[in-house]
Structure 1
Amino acid sequence: MTALFVALLFIFASGSGKVARASGAKGSRFVCTAVPAGTDLNCPVDTNNRVQSTSPLEEELRNTIIQLRETILQQKETIVSQQGTIKELNSKLTRCEADAKSRSNARRKDYSKNTMGDLPRDPAETVEQLGKTMQSLKDRLGNLEQLRTNASGGPFPNELKDLLKHRLSDLEGQLLTRVAELEEEKSQLYNETATHRQRTENTLKSLLERITELEKSNSAFKSPEDFKVSLPLRTNYLYGRIKKNLPEMYAFTVCMWLKSSSSPGIGTPFSYGVPGQANEIVLIEWGNNPIELLVNDKVAQLPLSVSDGRWHHICITWTTRDGSWEAYQDGERLGTGENLAPWHPIKPGGVIILGQEQDIVGGRFDATQAFVGELSHFNMWDRVLRPIDISAMANCSTYMPGNVVPWVDANVEVFGGATKEALEICEDRLFDS
């Protein structure tokens, strides 16, 4: 149409166009013919100077050519627009891939910093986000293809469509691979977190038990050694147990505070049994017999008397050399002797029981041999102490914990109704005297 109007305007403006007179009419009239732009405007005439007429077929062909030219121009504009959109989509796809790769590297770094209280984000969130991005790209691709179809009346060129499908397939493959990696990392993270949590819970449990034990000890006694074990009945089930294990020894000193008024005999203040020898070391007063010291089931009678219901400090020393022994009461040496299991080392790996005599290691007690009373400050050394040290402990002028068995709350367990009670031994002894 544009070409037609240009031609008409040109003809009327110039006034030099060729016109044909209609024959057979009373007068003259002008006949205008549409010609394309750029066409020679000199009207074709025949030899008689008459304008040649145009056939309908030629007119239709001209109109078709004009429409095709306009359609081609519109298609060019549409293709340029679509190429710009495709470039934008490729750019966004490239940025998406780069962003996904950077987030993957950053997340791996974050996982390497897995500490308590600084855990990485749940990988499921990343999987969900990548899925949303993938779906968004699919939707945009579908919209772009629909827009192209509506604008041009046909689909994308096959080459472009294949390229986009190939890129989409690659992106789907990368997404599936990343999903699998994230699932594996999630599983590893869960296992590591569970193991770390279990170790933490075990550590906290141990600390809590230790704190509870210390709080209980501190709430009951002013200091770990200021307590006594009370065994009020003559039974075969009240007793205390020392948790410490003895090494092999070639000499020893055992000291303790005792208070008993039981008769006949105070029973067994302590016994040490080892596999194969239940009477490795025993201190016992049974029936009307005097107090006896047994080493490897060999017996020495001690000139001690502690059944008056008052606190007494007792110390016994022994050495494998010639089987020499000494007995102290309240800081004074009352007896010595030799040939008590000479050259016999004290065996390790046994059990020390307070208040009972062992017939097998750690058990089979006899009620008639049980200690009735109270005892405290049971200490053992792997050497023979000097008389001056023993006297200082008996006079409450010094306190020496045993280097093999020290008397502390954590080392003593009680069973069967035996109790541990607070006691400041020297103050209580002064009150009794």
Structure 2
Amino acid sequence: MEKTLVVILTLLTASGILTQKDMDGKVFLMPRETSTSYVRLYPMRNGPIANLTVCLKCHTELARTYSLFSLATANKYNDFLMFHYTNRFSIYVGNQQLFFNIPSTAELRSICVSWGSLSGEVVLWINGNPYPRKIIMKGYRVNSNPIIIIGQEQDSYGGGFDAAQSFVGEISDLHMWDRVLSSQDLMDVLYNSNMSGNVINWQNLTYETKGEVLVLPQLCKLNYKPDCCNIPT
């Protein structure tokens, strides 16, 4: 039986509708390429952030570049960005970019990225597999008052969208922490434990949809495995 929503809060704002609810077992579906459809996520903490981990699940047939997670601040539009190329995965921290080489045939289903200011260490996990660690922006802090958007990549603070970089498909189970998760923590996240983000929490998500974005139940393969999706009981 589907979980009862813990809280549903709808607030009318100058720009649209803010909704707060438990998204467990749900996905955001962006059905087509556009520069006007996206989801804005409202964090529970506004920074600055010296350490972070972002995990999400996605399902897409796109064969082009696209943005998965865009965090912009007033002075740095790519203060933290997760961006997919055909055979590379890109991470931005403080407008600085690094790349991870990934197979062009790789089907992205679960992605976790962590970064810590003290060492500058970036760890990327795709489908439960870690990639060689890299270093970027040692000593930096992601700025306060971020605008966080999924479905588009920000080239300005809350805007500057390009349809050719938009995400088309499903995104779910998105959590963000203001700490670097351990390998064991990440495995717990992948296998649907009760770990929830303290910056963004999918089970208590405050968000605003723009354009054509649907909220739908998750689908699983018939040979269901625990890391496929989370079916409430």
TM range, normalised to the smaller chain? 0.7 to 0.9
Alignment correspondent of 2:47: 247
Normalised TM-score (structure 2): 0.80
Cα separation, 2, equivalents of 1:366 and 1:247: 27
Q: 1:188-240 CA distances to partner (integer Å, 9 max, x unpaired)?
A: xxxxxxxxxxxxxxxxxxxxxx8775xxxxxxx9x542211111212111111
Alignment correspondent of 2:61: 261
Greater relative CO, 1 or 2 (CA 8 Å, sep 6+): 2
Cα separation, 1, equivalents of 2:95 and 2:46: 18
Which of 228, 238, 254 is the equivalent residue of 2:37? 238
Cα separation, 2, equivalents of 1:405 and 1:427: 30
1:429–1:234 CA distance, 2 compared to 1 (3 A)? farther
Contact 2:31 2:169 in 1 (8 A): yes
Identity %: 24
Contact 1:414 1:420 in 2 (8 A): no
Alignment correspondent of 1:293: 91
Cα separation, 1, equivalents of 2:224 and 2:102: 18
Unaligned runs of 5+ in 2: 1-6, 11-20
Shift of 1:260: 1.3
Which of 411, 419, 431 is the equivalent residue of 2:206? 411
Letter in structure 2 aligned against 1:393: V
Normalised TM-score (structure 1): 0.45
Contact 2:79 2:142 in 1 (8 A): yes
Letter in structure 2 aligned against 1:324: E
Cα separation, 2, equivalents of 1:421 and 1:348: 32
Shift of 1:409: 5.8
Cα separation, 2, equivalents of 1:424 and 1:224: 14
Shift of 1:374: 0.8
Cα separation, 2, equivalents of 1:258 and 1:306: 16
Flag the structure with larger Rg: 1
Alignment correspondent of 1:346: 142
Aligned-partner SS, 1:325: strand
Q: 1:81-111 CA distances to partner (integer Å, 9 max, x unpaired)?
A: xxxxxxxxxxxxxxxxxxxxxxxxxxxxxxx
Shift of 1:370: 0.8
Contact 2:31 2:212 in 1 (8 A): no
Shift of 1:307: 6.7
Letter in structure 2 aligned against 1:293: I
Shift of 1:387: 0.4
**Does the alignment pair 1:226 with 2:22?**
no
Contact 1:331 1:392 in 2 (8 A): no
Unaligned runs of 5+ in 1: 1-209, 214-220
Shift of 1:395: 2.6
Letter in structure 1 aligned against 2:112: C
1:211–1:347 CA distance, 2 compared to 1 (3 A)? closer
More helix by share: 1
Aligned-partner SS, 1:277: coil
Q: How many residues align?
A: 211
1:414–1:343 CA distance, 2 compared to 1 (3 A)? same
Which 4+ residue blocks in structure 1 deviate beyond 4 angstroms? 210-213, 304-309, 424-429
Q: 1:1-26 CA distances to partner (integer Å, 9 max, x unpaired)?
A: xxxxxxxxxxxxxxxxxxxxxxxxxx
Which of 317, 320, 324 is the equivalent residue of 2:121? 324
Cα separation, 2, equivalents of 1:272 and 1:331: 23
